[in-house]
Amino acid sequence: MKDIKILKGNIIFTKNIKSFEVHENSYIVINKNIVVGIFKQLPEIYKDVKVTDYNDALIIPSFVDLHIHAPQYLQMGIGLNLELIDWLNQYTFKNEKLFSDVNHAKKVYPHFVEALYENGTLRSCIFATIHNKSNQILVEELAKKKLSAYVGKVNMDQNAPSNLIQTTEDSIRETIEFIEENSNSELIKPIITPRFAPSCTRDLLKQLGNLSIDMKVPIQTHLAETKNEVKWVKQLFPDCKSYSHVYKKHKLYCNSKTIMAHAIHLTKKEINLAKHENVYIVHCPNSNMNLTSGVMPLTHYLDKGIKVGLGSDVGAGHKIGMQDTIASAIQCSKIRHAINPSERILSESEAFYLGTKLNGSFFGKTGSFEQDYLFDALVIKDEHPLVDSLKPLERLQRFIYCGDSRSIIARYLEGQLI
């Protein structure tokens, strides 16, 4: 019994997308890092095991963010009167250049990682920059905090400021170095990260696609975020049938586990292409609204059988907490429904499922409290004096819309209190 951990509280999760499972005043049993089960009455076999009793607090799966930019942490809320390409040119690229100085990374990244931790995002898929020394600082800070992540060295060899462009050869060589340096960690893994198609030559895209297959490394990039971006891609790759096909042609789509962020402006053929077990489309509602990119037809995609996750997309996203992203995803679906009533509204259980179990599936069996899942959890306690009158599910709803990091009183990753 030395490997058994038992927590008690109001346990809430989404086993399936359609509904919450609520276990009031119940016990969750963990063996090492794996969920054994949830019990209203603790079985006799566990009578001598110490119970960590969180009383009436909520115990929920911890959050997973499938799309976030670490170097843009200080950009949150800045320049959001602009659209994507202008925002990149006037703010983002200038900011990312600063990470050529490793001391700047040492200043920024500890705060970024602390913000993930404080807000209960214990796993994330992160864009870094082109600078490997600074990227390694990010990896080290995540490891210190015992967070789990996929971290990507960004690739660009065209259509960016000269101080952020690498030769194709250097970009590939340094990507291989970053992968090799970070392949042995249990919690932090490399991910191949072409910024987006316009910033990469065909040769770079092709080599990255082959690298992903040869080294068995997943991929993350951007897709169809704005209409102007889609037009630009058509000009740059006139032989390709669509933006998605650019990635498909270069083995960056479907061959390996793949994250495509935004994907707002997809054709019918692209929507069908996205229905693939290796493809995760990521909805970033806050950044899409902030940069006037559009609003993803999220429920339409879900009903078509596409795996859609959620991302904060800091820094175009102005909030790093995933509870804000979950709430915004629901609100955006209501806007689309108001304009087009045939498009249904995203339910609260669906949004929570996306931010926990669906997003977690990119990392394996996590994001739920089902048997044999890794135990990743947050303990939520709202100290407002009137909250005690609410039912557990109502308190979770309140946390999603009104809560913040102050409500999170404990964090568990793979069974360990961190």
Are both 56 and 94 inside the same structural domain?
Answer: no
Task: Give the 3-state DSSP-derived string for the chain, with helices as H, strands as E and coil as C.
Answer: CCCEEEEEEEEEEEEECCEEEEEEEEEEEEECCEEEEEECCCCHHHCCCCEEEEEEEEEEECEEEEEEEHHHHHHCCCCCCCCHHHHHHHHHHHHHHHHHCHHHHHHHHHHHHHHHHHCCEEEEEEECCCCHHHHHHHHHHHHHCCCEEEEECEECCCCCCHHHCCCHHHHHHHHHHHHHHCCCCCCEEECEEECCHHHCCHHHHHHHHHHHHHHCCCEEEEECCCHHHHHHHHHHCCCCCCHHHHHHHCCCCCCCCEEEEECCCCCHHHHHHCCCCCEEEEECHHHHHHCCCCCCCHHHHHHCCCCEEECCCCCCCCCCCHHHHHHHHHHHHHHHHHHCCCCCCCCHHHHHHHHHHHHHCCCCCCCCCCCCCECCEEEECCCCCCHHHCCHHHHHHHHHHHCCHHHEEEEEECCEEC
- Report whether 410 contacts 417 (CB < 8 A): yes
Q: What whole-number percentage of the chain has pLDDT above 90?
A: 98
Domain boundary among 316, 335, 360: 360
Residue 388 is predicted with a pLDDT of: 84
Are both 134 and 104 inside the same structural domain?
Answer: yes
| Domain hosting residue 26, numbered range | 4-62+367-417
Q: Identity (one letter) of the amino acid at 223?
A: L
Are both 90 and 107 inside the same structural domain?
Answer: yes
The total domain count for the chain is 2
In this predicted model, what pLDDT tens digit does every residue of 130-184 receive, in sequence order? 999 999 999 999 999 999 999 999 999 999 999 999 999 999 999 999 999 999 9
In this predicted model, what pLDDT tens digit does every residue of 390-412 receive, in sequence order? 999 999 999 999 999 999 999 99
Residue 104 is predicted with a pLDDT of: 98
Q: Is the pLDDT of residue 287 over 90?
A: yes
Domain boundary among 319, 334, 360: 360
In our burial notation (b when 16+ CB lie closer than 10 A, e otherwise), range 104-132 reads bbeebbbebbebbbebbbbbbbbbbbbbb
Question: How far is 349 from 16, CA to CA, in rounded Å?
Answer: 9
Q: Is the pLDDT of residue 385 over 90?
A: no
Q: What is the pTM of this model?
A: 0.97
In this predicted model, what pLDDT tens digit does every residue of 254-284 receive, in sequence order? 999 999 999 999 999 999 999 999 999 999 9
Residue 145 is predicted with a pLDDT of: 97
> If you average pLDDT over residues 198-225, what whole number do you get?
98
Are both 185 and 89 inside the same structural domain?
Answer: yes
Are both 266 and 171 inside the same structural domain?
Answer: yes
| Listed residue (149, 153, 138) closest to 192, CA to CA | 153
- The band of 2, judged by pLDDT with boundaries at 50, 70 and 90, is confident
**CATH label of the domain that carries residue 396:** 2.30.40.10
Domain boundary among 360, 381, 405: 360
Are both 351 and 382 inside the same structural domain?
Answer: no
**CATH label of the domain that carries residue 319:** 3.20.20.140
Are both 104 and 228 inside the same structural domain?
Answer: yes
Are both 245 and 356 inside the same structural domain?
Answer: yes
In this predicted model, what pLDDT tens digit does every residue of 314-360 receive, in sequence order? 999 999 999 999 999 999 999 999 999 999 999 999 999 999 999 99
Q: Is the pLDDT of residue 5 over 90?
A: yes
Are both 11 and 84 inside the same structural domain?
Answer: no
In this predicted model, what pLDDT tens digit does every residue of 72-129 receive, in sequence order? 999 999 999 999 999 999 999 999 999 999 999 999 999 999 999 999 999 999 999 9
Q: What does the mean pLDDT of the chain come to?
A: 97
Are both 30 and 107 inside the same structural domain?
Answer: no
In this predicted model, what pLDDT tens digit does every residue of 16-56 receive, in sequence order? 999 999 999 999 999 999 999 999 999 999 999 999 999 99
Are both 69 and 144 inside the same structural domain?
Answer: yes
Residue 290 is predicted with a pLDDT of: 98
Are both 256 and 293 inside the same structural domain?
Answer: yes
